[in-house]
Amino acid sequence: MTDFQTDLALISDAAKAAGELAMRHFRQDPKVWWKEGNSPVSEADYAVDDLLKKILLEARPGYGWLSEEMQHADLRDVGSDRFFVVDPIDGTRAFLRGEDTWCVSVAVVENGRPVAGVIAATALGEHFEVSADTPTRLNGVVCAVSSPGPADALRLAVPDSMRKRLQEAGGDTVLLEKAVPSLAYRLALVAAGRIDGTLVRPRANDWDIAAADLLIERAGGLLSDRHGDASLYRSHGKRHGLLVASSLGAQDRVRRLAAVIPDRTEEI
C-alpha cells in the first residue's frame, strides 16, 4: 500500500465516523450561529470538525490543517509537505433544512494538489473515495465521468443564479438539472457520471473543492478555471475564480458556456 493509499484509508474511516456523528444532529434542531457573510454554522459543524481534527492530527501530527471552521487569524502557511483540507459539513443550509444533500469532505494535499480525497454523503448512503494512484470509487465500485457525444445536450447542475444565462446561451444544447446545494457533492456527481458537468461560482474555498477535484481527475475529468488550468491549494487557504468541471471531452463545450458568466459574484 502506498503512502497515498494509507492516507486514504485514514481519511475514509475518519469521514465515516464524522458522517455518523453528523447524523446524530441531523433533523434534531441543532444550535446555529451566523458567521461573517451571513453564513450559518451549527453545533454539528463544530462537533464534526473537532472529531476530524482529533482523529487525523493524532494519526498524522506532522501534517498541516485547513478547515472551514478555523478562525481567520489561524489561517497560515504551515510549511508542511502535506496537510488536511476539511469541510466538516458541506451544505450546512441543506443540513439545517433537513435535506439529505450534504456531505463531509476531507482531502490530503501535497505540493499544491490533492493526493487523497473522500466525500461522505452519509444521509444518502454514498461514500466517494480516491487517491492519486487509485481510481475513483463510489461505495467501493469504480466510477467514471460521463462521455456525452458532440451532438448530445449537456446535463449540467449549476447554481440558480446562473440558470437563466446558461439557458439563453446554450438553448437546446443544455439540460439544466435540479440545483444541488452542496458544492462538494455536486462535483462528486460529475465524477460519478450522473451529470455531465457543472460551473462553480467565483470565491469557492479550498475546503469546498479539494477532495472533489481529485475524484473528478481520477474519474477521467477535470476541474479547472475558465482557461483550463487546474487549481493549486495552499495550507493558508485561498478563494478561486469561476471553475468548470466536466469530462475531458466536454471541457471545451462547458468552458464556452462559462464565457457568459462574469467573474464577480455580485453580478451572478
Give tens-digit pLDDT for 197-254: 999 999 999 999 999 999 999 999 999 999 999 999 987 777 899 999 999 999 999 9
Amino acid at position 58, single letter: E
The DSSP string of the chain is --HHHHHHHHHHHHHHHHHHHHHHHTTS---EEEETTTEEEEHHHHHHHHHHHHHHHHH-TTSEEEETTS-GGG------SEEEEEEEEE-HHHHHHT-S--EEEEEEEETTEEEEEEEEEGGGTEEEEEETTS--EETTEE-------TTSPEEE---HHHHHHHHHHHGGGEEEPPP-S-HHHHHHHHHTTSSSEEEE-TTEEHHHHHHHHHHHHHTTEEEEETTSPBP---TT--EE--EEEEEGGGHHHHHHHHTTS-S-GGG-
* Separation CA 41–CA 240 (nearest Å): 22
Residue ranges and CATH numbers for the domains of the chain are: 3-142 (3.30.540.10), 154-267 (3.40.190.80)
Sorting pLDDT into bands at 50, 70 and 90, what band is 75? low
* Separation CA 57–CA 53 (nearest Å): 6
Sorting pLDDT into bands at 50, 70 and 90, what band is 76? low
Sorting pLDDT into bands at 50, 70 and 90, what band is 38? confident
For 134, phi and psi rounded to 5 degrees?
Answer: -135, 160
pLDDT given for residue 77 in this prediction? 57
Amino acid at position 130, single letter: V
List the 126-131 sheet strands across, edge first.
Answer: 64-67, 82-90, 103-110, 113-121, 126-131, 137-138, 141-142
pLDDT given for residue 73 in this prediction? 43
pLDDT given for residue 10 in this prediction? 98
Q: Residue 100: how many CB atoms within 10 A of its CB?
A: 18
What is the distance, to the nearest Å, from the Cα of residue 267 to the centroid of all Cα atoms in its chain? 23
pLDDT given for residue 165 in this prediction? 93
79-130 tens-digit pLDDT: 568 999 999 999 999 999 999 999 999 999 999 999 999 999 999 999 999 9
Q: Residue 165: how many CB atoms within 10 A of its CB?
A: 17
> Taking a C-beta distance cutoff of 8 angstroms, is the pair 154, 197 a contact?
yes
